[in-house]
Structure 1
């Protein structure tokens, strides 16, 4: 399946770049950035609870964008932004049941950020991206076609 190959490639880029961005960005994080992330995570959890996939995708993107921007690396951010839309489109087509898992990952990431632990934040980000990739590919293989969820 060609789309699985493309999905793997995009997630490999995301894995490398987002891990680097979070690790580089932690030293630049201000308390106001952290507080915005907490608020956004609360919005994500509410949207997930309500089953609003489109809002989850939008809020999740905002969450990661704040973290990515901390690194002050516009070229890396352009690469991520260029491919985020494709991943979100695939999520809309194939759905996702990762709401609670995403929230748990975000909460662990928030704890690492609060402690200014760049290594832990990078490891959590790496695992988060790997789980997202595995979930999407599994959903694509299981359905073989787009779902309505």
Structure 2
């Protein structure tokens, strides 16, 4: 991919996300060039999400290792929420298309990353099981209200044994 191709793709993604902020369903009525179809566009959007999420998760885990409390669940929860908060249009676009088979493999990789990073699963466990744990983790973090106090362990910690 040339720099020109890269910039064209980034510009197209920015236009789709800008359009999605105004009307989420209409943003995907036409697929902008250089993308061939909606599946390719969704894959690029998920890649953009993962770049930002992975960076925030890595920083959160480093901060957790150096902090007084080693709460990986809380660190990953906050990283996911910060990424979603910084990218509401991107997260909404992925959520609306979550049932699209083009996103299934990428979403499974995301769920495995989250489960392992949070310490809920080990990378040597069966991938499907790790993805299931990560999917459950995301469902729980979405359903758990955000608390104002950052000095307490994550409320998700209480729910983890049910995994």
TM-score by length of structure 2 reads 0.32
Relative to the length of structure 1, the TM-score reads: 0.34
Which structure is higher in helix share?
1
